[in-house]
Structure 1
């Protein structure tokens, strides 16, 4: 039997990108998790695996410690059958005491509201922040004054230029990440160390993943970079954004410049979640999101 037909799951490989994108392009996800890039660069941390059940793409996080949960099935509506099957499989085959599907979008949760033995919980720390791209470019009004001030101050002290991220800049972008990690002591923080691995995966596979990106150059040296792609036909998603921590204002600058030049077809920009980190939440709220992509955990109780 094929190793990628349910109940068999296989590891995610770069060659799977075309198949995943067939599902994502047809069914237009809203949550930032549902891009091949995100799943691929985080595959080692989450131990992502995938399978096909009828018309649905199934994704699980199958960790070495015995913990296993799923992501929402990607495929045609209604998806209730796939959700219930997956929860039962997690219970019976993976021996999960609390079988659950994480990072579910609201539209799939609405299919499950009257289903017996299902518990649905919103997870605020995983809500995606979505902005009007034009707001991030113009930075108009009093609410964006601090952003404009940071950019103006940087402009007074530095002669910078913005350019599209091309393979020539990959090595220098890695150095920016290394400097950032050194200051943040990534080696002492498991989550930051895993993020460092994800950044390297994205940069090393920049061409194969067909990512878009931008860099800020000062004295012809990369001091900030961003990596992004289209999430759905209306929304771009920023996967990675890093800057030299010794130069204030770079994050505001590269965010603005990339929105001006990259992902021209996007109306909205998804800047992903805050993970419950207070400083990150404050930073994302300071850009005044247009809306959130709510995400939920769906569990099977009395399992």
Structure 2
């Protein structure tokens, strides 16, 4: 019988275990990625159990523990045990980040379950070539801002390497001060997560780009391969040195990734109005939908 004692903390030492499992069961949403879990462990401690060839992830935020559905071969007994455990331990939303196929399977198993779309955690996926080339009228305004940046700012783009990681850290510290993150806990935790990613850049097998404006690092992106045809952007930050710098780091990152993958996942908008509008302006190819179980 699945129980709380079956779960242990996700640590940096677990990377190869998760990599092997996700090679068999590729992920489309960022919520289960190893990088996300270890980078956000300071805010949302992650734990996992390995049962009957399935990984089950739990996360605890502000004292509330929720569970992700099993990742592995379909196991009706295990799913029912997880639902029971989640209902015993959690709040009104005990199971989260359920992909549509798993949601349908759960409702076949237990027709009385209430599964609802979690729109705030739908993730935006774009064609890499479109983000790189910005073709046609629908991208005209973005191209205009980008061209203005290229014209007005002396800039150069280069890969993030061990030699410039300290400059990346300095940019994140400047961004923290510029945004007044000490007054916003969410942004504070985000910068902590990004700094962890930079600190463990090599161990996490991350990649990245930076843009220098007048030789100073003014924008960065950190990314990795999510699955066979999709890359995932974990962090993207820019300083207000020059208008259009976010459009530049977006386009430069896409230009690199378009040679390798068809799609780029730029994660969710978390229900933030301005962020949702900004993501929609880039015309996503599709959204990665997720559902939540309601009590």
TM-score, normalized by the shorter chain, greater than 0.5: yes
- What residue is the counterpart of 1:52 in the other structure? 50
Which stretch of the first structure deviates more once superposed, 234-243 or 263-272?
A: 263-272
- What residue is the counterpart of 1:264 in the other structure? 259
Partner of residue 247 from structure 2, selected from 252, 255, 258: 252
- What residue is the counterpart of 2:22 in the other structure? 24
Structure 1 distance, partners of 2:35, 2:212, is 25
Partner of residue 83 from structure 1, selected from 76, 79, 92: 79
Residue correspondences, number: 292
> Structure 2: which 5+ runs fail to align?
none
Q: For 1:248-269, what per-residue CA distance to the aligned partner results, in whole angstroms no more than 9, with x for missing partners?
A: 1111111111111247321100
Contact conserved, 2:126 with 2:265, CA < 8 A, in 1?
Answer: yes
Deviation at 1:118, TM superposition (A): 1.3
Deviation at 1:29, TM superposition (A): 1.2
1:74 paired with 2:77, answer: no
Contact conserved, 1:169 with 1:222, CA < 8 A, in 2?
Answer: no
Q: For 1:229-288, what per-residue CA distance to the aligned partner results, in whole angstroms no more than 9, with x for missing partners?
A: 111101101000001123211111111111112473211000000000011001100000
Q: For 1:144-186, what per-residue CA distance to the aligned partner results, in whole angstroms no more than 9, with x for missing partners?
A: 1121111111111122111111122211112222222212211
Contact conserved, 2:124 with 2:287, CA < 8 A, in 1?
Answer: yes
- What residue is the counterpart of 1:242 in the other structure? 237
Distance 1:130 1:139, change over 3 A: same
- What residue is the counterpart of 1:107 in the other structure? 101
- What residue is the counterpart of 2:139 in the other structure? 144
* TM-score, reference length from structure 1: 0.91
Structure 2 distance, partners of 1:276, 1:285, is 13
Partner of residue 14 from structure 1, selected from 12, 15, 18: 12
1:28 alignment partner, SS class: coil
- What residue is the counterpart of 2:117 in the other structure? 122
> Structure 1: which 5+ runs fail to align?
none
Structure 1 distance, partners of 2:261, 2:96, is 27
Structure 2 distance, partners of 1:162, 1:80, is 50
Structure 1 distance, partners of 2:188, 2:71, is 29
Q: For 1:119-146, what per-residue CA distance to the aligned partner results, in whole angstroms no more than 9, with x for missing partners?
A: 1010111000000001001101111112
Moved over 4 A (4+): none
Contact conserved, 2:128 with 2:258, CA < 8 A, in 1?
Answer: no
Structure 2 distance, partners of 1:36, 1:69, is 17
Distance 1:263 1:170, change over 3 A: farther
Structure 2 distance, partners of 1:150, 1:64, is 40
Contact conserved, 1:6 with 1:52, CA < 8 A, in 2?
Answer: no
1:43 alignment partner, SS class: coil
1:191 paired with 2:186, answer: yes
Contact conserved, 1:215 with 1:222, CA < 8 A, in 2?
Answer: yes
